[in-house]
């Protein structure tokens, strides 16, 4: 639907922003629900953020998503930061109410929904989870697993100090481990999550022996290019339930869309196909 003068406007702020799938994703929903609205890419250099962000509510925008490299820096421009953003130390969704900026982080929600809907029979509280990587994505994944009642997170990272920092910041039962200890902590794990960039197209492969996991384990990857990463392919060949990473991206977009455009959107197979298809 072609926007009218009354169209609700939101967008994604990033630098670079050209790679972002968010305009396609929100654009699909705007069409599907026949909403008078627009969702636009906003290419904002890091040094311009302090000038640009506080002015967006005055432009009449409903809100925005934030992508690299703005997620941490934007915290400081919010008038209100919710618990999700505070736990992760990063914001990815802004809602403008009058001149106030409310920040939240929907990655926790996105990971939870993707896992719960992608592996419905899986019980997170059934056993320890092994999380690979200790960047921003790992924080969201661990916070989500804690919300779902995981008894222990074994946080395996190349740089042990980063894993230790997350364990201290998030609290709870998180055991920081070096990469060389990975083989020893898989045998009774109920879930393996990759949050590193390894296995992504153009990145080095992720070297994990999934034969060390128990039969009922679930394996998920936040990488979605390729959709079936070598880790997920190996897990599937081993007979394990796998959940790909695209769903986390799609589900994390739902709270923002609902806040800006007033409709709670659905993640459907057609949405997945559309987002994955190259733009024409």
Positions marked active-site: 71
Is residue 154 within 8 Å of residue 185, measured between CB atoms? yes
Which residue's Cβ lies closest to ligand ATR?
135
Nearer to ligand ATR, 67 or 190 (CB): 67
Binding mask 182-221 for ligand ATR (x = CB under 6 A): -------------xxxx-----x-----------------
Please work out the total of residues on this chain that contact ligand ATR, with binding judged by CB under 6 A.
15
Nearer to ligand ATR, 9 or 138 (CB): 138
- Nearest approach in angstroms of CB 160 to ligand ATR is 8
- Nearest approach in angstroms of CB 74 to ligand ATR is 15
Looking at the DSSP bridge assignments, the partners of residue 157 are 178
89 binds ligand ATR, rule: CB under 6 A = no
Alpha-carbon span 248 to 223, nearest angstrom: 10
Alpha-carbon span 176 to 125, nearest angstrom: 19
- Nearest approach in angstroms of CB 76 to ligand ATR is 18
Find the part of the chain contacting ligand ATR (CB under 6 A) among 154-162, 185-193, 211-219, 235-243: 154-162
Alpha-carbon span 9 to 160, nearest angstrom: 43
- Nearest approach in angstroms of CB 158 to ligand ATR is 3
Alpha-carbon span 275 to 247, nearest angstrom: 11
The DSSP 8-state label assigned to residue 34 in this structure reads: T
Burial of 241 (0-12, 13-18, 19+ CB in 10 A): middle
**Tokens standing for 142?**
């661990």
Find the part of the chain contacting ligand ATR (CB under 6 A) among 6-14, 74-82, 153-161, 228-236: 153-161
How many CA within 13 A on the CB side of residue 199? 25
133 binds ligand ATR, rule: CB under 6 A = yes
Find the part of the chain contacting ligand ATR (CB under 6 A) among 14-22, 108-116, 141-149, 151-159: 151-159
Alpha-carbon span 245 to 259, nearest angstrom: 24
Strands 93-97 and 63-66, sheet pairing: antiparallel
Contact set with ligand ATR (CB under 6 A): 133-138, 157-159, 162, 195-198, 204
């Amino acid at each position: 639907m072609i926007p009218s003068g009354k169209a609700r406007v939101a967008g994604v702020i990033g630098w670079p922003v050209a790679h972002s799938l968010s305009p396609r994703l929100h654009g699909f929903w705007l069409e599907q629900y026949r909403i008078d609205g627009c969702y636009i890419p906003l290419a904002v250099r890091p040094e311009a953020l302090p000038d640009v962000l506080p002015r967006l509510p005055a432009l009449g925008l409903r809100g925005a998503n934030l992508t690299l490299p703005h997620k941490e820096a934007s915290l400081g421009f919010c008038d209100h930061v919710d618990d999700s953003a505070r736990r992760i130390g990063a914001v990815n969704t802004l809602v403008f109410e009058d001149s106030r900026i409310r920040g939240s982080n929907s990655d926790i929600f996105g990971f939870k929904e993707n896992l719960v809907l992608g592996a419905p029979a899986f019980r997170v509280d059934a056993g320890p989870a092994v999380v690979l990587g200790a960047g921003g994505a790992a924080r969201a994944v661990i916070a989500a697993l804690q919300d779902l009642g995981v008894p222990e997170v074994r946080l395996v990272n190349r740089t042990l100090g980063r894993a230790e920092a997350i364990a201290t910041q998030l609290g709870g039962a998180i055991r920081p481990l070096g990469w060389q200890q990975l083989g020893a902590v898989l045998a009774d794990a109920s879930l393996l999550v990759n949050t590193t960039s390894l296995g992504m197209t153009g990145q080095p492969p992720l070297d994990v022996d999934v034969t060390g996991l128990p039969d009922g384990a679930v394996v998920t990857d936040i990488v979605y290019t390729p959709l079936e990463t070598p880790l997920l392919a190996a897990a599937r060949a081993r007979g394990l339930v796998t959940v790909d990473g695209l769903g986390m991206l799609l589900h994390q977009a739902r709270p923002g869309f609902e806040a800006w455009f007033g409709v709670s959107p659905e993640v459907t197979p057609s949405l997945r196909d559309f987002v994955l298809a190259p733009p024409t």
